[in-house]
Amino acid sequence: MSHSILLAQVTDSHLLAKTTDQLRGCNTWQTFNAVLREVAQCKPDGLLLTGDLAEQGEAEAYGNLVDALSPLQIPTYWLPGNHDRLDMLQQVLQVLPASQGLSSIDLGPWQLILLDSVFLDATFGEGHLSEQQLQKLRFYLTHHPPKPTLIALHHHPVSVGIDWVDQIGVKNADEFFALIEQFSQVKLVVFGHIHHEFQHKTARGIGVYGCPSTCLQVTPAVTAMDDTQPGFRLVWLYGDGRYETEVRRVNIVDGER
């Protein structure tokens, strides 16, 4: 196999201002740290944070995030979710090594594009890709070298088969796919928001992947997977344009919940 770049996708940590507080019975700080310990064992080349990093967008919660991530010394690529405050994220995460958000990132043989799918006028947390975001995406795909490309966003652009979850996906997903399917270099799309593992292939063969949360999970009605534990996604990007991906689950003991 050719040389690969390994990214670890970590999402929907919903951290709180106090590390002792719980969200619906879950200590999100403890489960996040348990996931990060497993991530560190994988020795990724980059950490991809796909939103809802803080439950209420508090500065203290983002401070907790930086406290957890700083010892890893891993380049960090991030984008906001509907629970986040973009201004806080931009301010706090800049202290991390090689931290980059909402841009096109040169990963050598691959391009990583980070999009903002947060819709500020959302009623229930649904997503939308603004005209500005779509124009930026088209610019990156048109004017940057046509390297194999991974696109990341927070909201899901495809139906995941859970009624209430599908009501809060990307509302203009058709525009998104109409754009990216014009560019053969787009190989896969990853997202958070749905709090469970998901995979899909478009008619053109673009892989579309959802990721478990580091805290509470949403369990599909029909599943053969053990999806009650927190997790993260690993993505290997190969120099010849191929990729592989898998989800790793983390066993959380009672004291960490």
**Pick from 248, 257, 130, 126: nearest CA to 194:** 126
Find the domain containing 156 and state its range. 4-249
Q: Is residue 170 part of a domain?
A: yes
- Write down the pTM of the prediction: 0.94
Q: Is residue 224 part of a domain?
A: yes
Instruction: Write the DSSP assignment of 207-223 as a string of letters.
Output: EEEE---SS--PPPSS-
Q: Is residue 158 part of a domain?
A: yes
Q: Is residue 257 part of a domain?
A: no
The pLDDT value recorded for residue 249 is 96
User: How far apart (Å, rounded) are the C-alpha atoms in residues 213 and 154?
Assistant: 12
Contact 78, 101 (CB under 8 A): yes
Q: What are phi and psi of 82, to 5 degrees?
A: -70, -15
Q: What are phi and psi of 96, to 5 degrees?
A: -80, 155
Q: Is residue 255 part of a domain?
A: no
Q: Is residue 256 part of a domain?
A: no
For the chain, the domain total comes to: 1
Q: Is residue 62 part of a domain?
A: yes
Cα angle 244-249-255, degrees, rounded to a multiple of 5:
160
The pLDDT value recorded for residue 224 is 43
Q: Is residue 254 part of a domain?
A: no
The list of the chain residues with pLDDT below 70 reads: 1-2, 221-227, 254-257
The pLDDT value recorded for residue 121 is 81
The pLDDT value recorded for residue 1 is 39
- Cα separations (Å) of 89 from 34, 53, 235? 22, 9, 24
CATH number where 40 lies: 3.60.21.10
